[in-house]
Amino acid sequence: MTALRFVAIVHLNTVKWKAQHSVILILLFGMFWQLFSLEYYKEHNHIRGDGLAYYSYLPANFIYGDPSNRFYADLEAFEQQKYWLNEGKDGAYLPKMTLGLALLWSPGYTLAHVLAPVFGYERDGWSIPYRLSILLSGMLALILGAILTFKVLQHYFSDFIGGVSVLLLVFATHLLHYGVSEVSMSHVYTFALVAGFIHCFEGWRREGGLGNLTSLGFLLGMIVLIRPTNGIIAIYPLYFLLTGEVAWKRLLHAGTILAIIAASAPLLLQAAFWKITTGDWIYYSYTEESIYWLNPHIWEGLFSYRNGWLVYTPIFLLLIPGYWALRNVAPKLGQASLLVLVLHTYITLSWWCWYYGDSLSIRPMADLYPMFAISIAAGIWQVSKWKAWIALPIAIAVLLLTYNNILFTKHYNTGKLTGSTMSKEAFWSLFLQPDAPSHLDLTLAYHQPDNARLRLGLDERSAPDTTIIEQFRLDTLSTRTMPVKPSKEYGKSINVNNINFYTAQDEYIRLKLAFDFESAEDHPHLVMDFKHGEESLKYQALNIEDLNLPAGRTERNIYLTWRRTEPTDVQLKCYPWNTSKAAGSITLLSMEKVHFAYPDVRVKQD
């Protein structure tokens, strides 16, 4: 019997080893496929947006040897754009973000700092070795977080359900994007820390151990340091203590003091930095940005086409059957997870910028995905028990949504899916579409948010004001009509010269065109080519079929942008490209420069 038990134990461990490593191999394959298919390795800057503020601690210490950032005032404007700093006291500057990510990046950054001159790169904090260290850190965090989440799920579910759940967390959500592309954002790192936190708690409540308890404290301190609101993850172990699942007396020993010290150490480091740069031990570095607790955007944050969490990551609808399954199987586990989900959603969507800028879905939700993975796995387990005529369509839907998430990640990185300006029209034009349509930016399918009112905790206005900056005279044109004939591939062009095409932020060149075609189905492309002499500087081809025009005459507006100031003598050449053998004409009716913007908000909220 002893021999048989030994063989059984070895077999089970081998199965677990194979399952875990199969998940890792699939993740690595998917991550590197994503990396190379989107060509991130070609001059792709992995440090941008909020990442500039997280990153700025590192060059301040390694390159300038000045943690108070006083060197910033002496930098040229171009160099200052690499940092995101606010003015402190006595000439000091400080980032808006805390230093947690800089601590996690330090080992890789140190290695890059040592190796940069060895491989012929500048030791400036921004050359390829430094940026590569951030990329590899993000990918490592994604893998580590996935492994630890899988280990947590092994306590409750089969390896198959645990593996599927982890793979869905990565490939059916924005985790893949934040673990491979925007790796200077905090979310994939918090994902790994939260996974470690839950893993250590499971180990502590089952087996005890000073190491598990101390690790719990340190991980909680790092989670709070990177994003203070994520400290609500502490509710998870606290709930088990309050409900009697774990006895309080297990905390009554010297190890608890060590855990408290471990949790406090990262926070004290941040407090010391604030004291040096501001004079205060505790400092609100977000200045005028606020959380509006009485005006959360719950509905918009979940269901809006502008980054709505369940719109862009609908895989989390599996939470519904998941919590239902945990209700009877592991009620305390389900209750703790649901409580954390509700509070995390409320806090996240009470932030003034509830859509979180130009991001892919509501990105802070990813921070606590290891917590929700338990309910996702329970949902998969529950669905697998249903009859085939119910479970099979759900499985197919999950596969399609996973495929669409990969497409959306591609569209986001090519600029077609914009996050903060998405609309219903833009969303459904991209949904399950490998090739993004060409009309979205040309027809203003994207809608700008009213940040001026959101910053004050007020509701957005329905539409921006439109101001005509300049009306261009077209009487100098030899023709305004571009005939389209089935016998010719290219129609006659309209050439517009001698006007200032330059458009600043929120400015557009508006062309009012009359489309007149015999058929509602066959339409050409309209080519708009900005040229300098014979050189094409910017080329766009609008597939007129995307506009869904009826037969006969229809007037539509097309919007162009031109942000380059040099060269100044630019010509706009418009002509039809008749690939579909259509018959009709396109006429330029008017051309003007317009500005779309929300007026300033002068009166603040009472």
- DSSP letters, 83-125, are --EEE-STT-EEESS-SHHHHHHHHHHHHHHHHTTTTT--SSS
SS (H, E, C) 438-456: CCCCCCCCCCCCCHHHHCC
Instruction: Give me the pLDDT at residue 423, please.
Output: 94
Instruction: Give me the pLDDT at residue 355, please.
Output: 96
pLDDT band at 80 (very low <50, low <70, confident <90, very high): confident
pLDDT band at 39 (very low <50, low <70, confident <90, very high): low
Is it the case that residue 8 has pLDDT exceeding 50? no
For residue 550, whether the previous peptide bond is cis, meaning omega lies within 30 degrees of 0, is no
What is the overall mean pLDDT for the chain?
A: 89
pTM for the full predicted model: 0.91
Q: Which of 28-37, 415-424, 579-588 has the lowest mean pLDDT?
A: 28-37
Contact between residue 504 and residue 599 where contact means Cβ atoms under 8 Å apart: no
Q: Provide CB contacts within 8 A for 96, sequence distance 6+.
A: 53, 84, 85, 86, 285, 286, 287
Buried b (16+ CB within 10 A) or exposed e, 79-107: eeebbbbbebeeebbbbbbbbbbbbbbbe
AA letter at 33: W
Give me 243's structure tokens: 């409900």
Sequence ranges of the domains in the chain:
298-452, 465-597
pLDDT in tens, 419-429: 899 999 999 99
Q: How many angstroms separate the CA atoms of 53 and 94, rounded? A: 9
Instruction: Give me the pLDDT at residue 399, please.
Output: 96
The CATH architecture assigned to 465-597 reads Sandwich (2.60)
pLDDT band at 584 (very low <50, low <70, confident <90, very high): very high
DSSP state for residue 361 in the 8-state scheme: S
The predicted model gives 49-65 an average pLDDT of: 92
Is it the case that residue 191 has pLDDT exceeding 90? yes
Instruction: Give me the pLDDT at residue 7, please.
Output: 33
Instruction: Give me the pLDDT at residue 81, please.
Output: 85
DSSP state for residue 490 in the 8-state scheme: B
Instruction: Give me the pLDDT at residue 351, please.
Output: 97
Q: Tell me whether residue 249 is exposed, middle or buried, using C-beta atoms within 10 angstroms of its C-beta: 0 to 12, 13 to 18, 19 or more.
A: exposed
Is it the case that residue 385 has pLDDT exceeding 80? yes
CA distances from 167 to 25, 30, 157 (A): 11, 10, 15
E strands present in 451-524: 465-471, 481-484, 494-496, 507-517
HSE, side-chain direction, 13 A CA sphere, residue 182: 21
AA letter at 431: F
Is it the case that residue 11 has pLDDT exceeding 70? no
Q: How far is CA 59 from the centre of its chain?
A: 25
> Can you give the length of the chain in residues?
606
Instruction: Give me the pLDDT at residue 3, please.
Output: 40
The predicted model gives 212-221 an average pLDDT of: 95
* DSSP assignment of 562-599: ----SSS--EEEEEEE-TT---EEEEEEEEEEEEEEPP
The predicted model gives 361-376 an average pLDDT of: 96
Instruction: Give me the pLDDT at residue 321, please.
Output: 95
Q: How many angstroms separate the CA atoms of 551 and 574, rounded? A: 22
Q: Which of 264-273, 398-407, 544-553, 559-568 has the lowest mean pLDDT?
A: 559-568
Instruction: Give me the pLDDT at residue 54, please.
Output: 95
pLDDT in tens, 521-559: 889 999 999 999 889 999 899 999 999 999 999 999 999
Work out the number of other CB atoms within 10 angstroms of the CB of residue 15: 12
Instruction: Give me the pLDDT at residue 456, please.
Output: 92
Instruction: Give me the pLDDT at residue 36, please.
Output: 76
Instruction: Give me the pLDDT at residue 10, please.
Output: 33
* 338 or 15, greater pLDDT: 338
Instruction: Give me the pLDDT at residue 137, please.
Output: 95
Q: How many angstroms separate the CA atoms of 485 and 494, rounded? A: 16
CA distances from 321 to 149, 164, 209, 300, 514 (A): 20, 16, 34, 23, 52
Is it the case that residue 53 has pLDDT exceeding 80? yes
